[in-house]
Structure 1
Amino acid sequence: MKLIGSLASPYVRKVRIVLAEKKLDYVFELENVWVPETRIALANPLGKVPCLVMEDGSALIDSRVIVEYLDTLTPVCKLLPAGGNGRERAEIKTWEALADGIMDAGVLVRLERTLRAPEQQSADWIARQLSKVTLGLAAMEQRLGAHAYCAGKNYTLGDVAVGCALGWISFRFPEIDWRAEHPGLALLFDKLSERPSFKDTLPQ
């Protein structure tokens, strides 16, 4: 398999962490989708990363689709529940959706600030997106409570997604002091950061 992505994308990082946790072999191909010479459309017509190219040349797109597929390839470190436990699975996927939503909002702020001239930027738009980050972090803190991991006692895909979101917020928005306001998330993030899969995929 070949993973097309960047070292800064939190969505790509999520896939890289899952690949590492599942002990799956792959080739990592760096791609900058923002330069004119990008060739990402050859694999993903939407022009986004991550994109996972399979052995037969077909491609999977969107991090949520990719990681769910990867979890089926080997029983090593199961990140989603097997069988018919739909409620538990939905709970973990909700954690992932919440974490991805925080990253989505943060990405929109970054694009507004970096791709538009200062006089063209919308302060209201930026504030609206940053409020989603703030509310999303507060919701995650409340949902986590005193649990060891997002889904309770076990490490799951929810933790991977939340760890990527928190790491990316710290990377791109160091002015957001989420640790001070969300001690539960800070403890979880510190624990996740000790895993080799997280250490080896720090955003850069």
Structure 2
Amino acid sequence: MLLIGSLASPYVRKVRIVLAEKKLDYRFQEDNPWAADTQLPQTNPLGKVPALVLDGKEVLYDSRVIVEYLDTLSPVGRLIPAGGRERAHVKTWEALADGVLDAGVAMRLEQTWAGRSDAQRCQAWVDRSLDKVQRGLDAMQAQAPGAQPFLTGQHLSLADIAVVTAVDWLAFRFPQQDWLQGRPALAALRERLAPRASFADTAPRL
């Protein structure tokens, strides 16, 4: 398998963590979708990362599709329950974390994208996106259980991976803001997973 993506992308990192946890072999090809010389549209017509190339031809894209596929490849460390309410619970956590990321990315692009001048930037849009991020983090804190080590029980799941990936990216891109102030459950989860090899080896970087 060939994974195409950016080392700074939280969506790519989520896939890389799953690959590590599932002990799956793959090659990594770095590509910045915002660069003028990006080759990504030749693989993913949407021009987004991550993209996972299977057997040199078939391509999967969207991190949610990719991680769900990867979880079926090995019985080692199942990260998504097979069905029922437990599966829906984990996927809802992932949707919430990805929604926080989507809003965070929108906020960052509005503030920094070189394709817009300062006069074209919209503070109201930044504020709206920030509000979504804060509400999402508040919901995570409120829903996080206090009496178990992980979000959905005694074992690591995709819920934990998605949430910590989102929190780490916010800290990476907006270090001036303390995203975990008043959110002790999220802080504890992040601290618990930080030393784990799959998380430590994939920390976001430029």
- Fold shared by both chains (TM-score > 0.5): yes
RMSD of aligned Cα (Å): 0.9
> What secondary structure sits across from 1:106 in the alignment?
helix
- TM-score norm. by structure 2 comes to 0.95
Matched, 1:123 2:123: yes
Query: Which residue type is aligned with residue 105 of structure 1?
Result: A
CA distance in 1, matches of 2:153, 2:23: 24
Query: Which residue type is aligned with residue 127 of structure 2?
Result: A
User: Partner of 1:137 in structure 2?
Assistant: 137
Matched, 1:198 2:195: no
CA distance in 1, matches of 2:182, 2:133: 13
Q: How does 1:58-97 map to 2 (within 5 A)?
A: 58-82=58-82, 85-97=83-95
User: Partner of 2:39 in structure 1?
Assistant: 39
User: Partner of 2:112 in structure 1?
Assistant: 114
Structure 1: 5+ residue runs without aligned partners? Answer: none
Query: Which residue type is aligned with residue 168 of structure 1?
Result: W
Matched, 1:98 2:96: yes
- TM-score norm. by structure 1 comes to 0.96
Structure 2: 5+ residue runs without aligned partners? Answer: none
CA distance in 1, matches of 2:135, 2:153: 22
CA distance in 2, matches of 1:81, 1:93: 9
> What secondary structure sits across from 2:77 in the alignment?
coil
Q: How does 1:141-156 map to 2 (within 5 A)?
A: 141-146=141-146, 147-156=148-157
CA distance in 2, matches of 1:188, 1:74: 25
CA distance in 2, matches of 1:40, 1:139: 34
Deviates more, 1:166-175 or 1:4-13: 166-175
Q: Moved runs in structure 1, 4+ residues, more than 4 A?
A: none
> What secondary structure sits across from 2:188 in the alignment?
helix
CA distance in 2, matches of 1:174, 1:37: 29
Q: What is the percent sequence identity of the aligned residues? A: 56
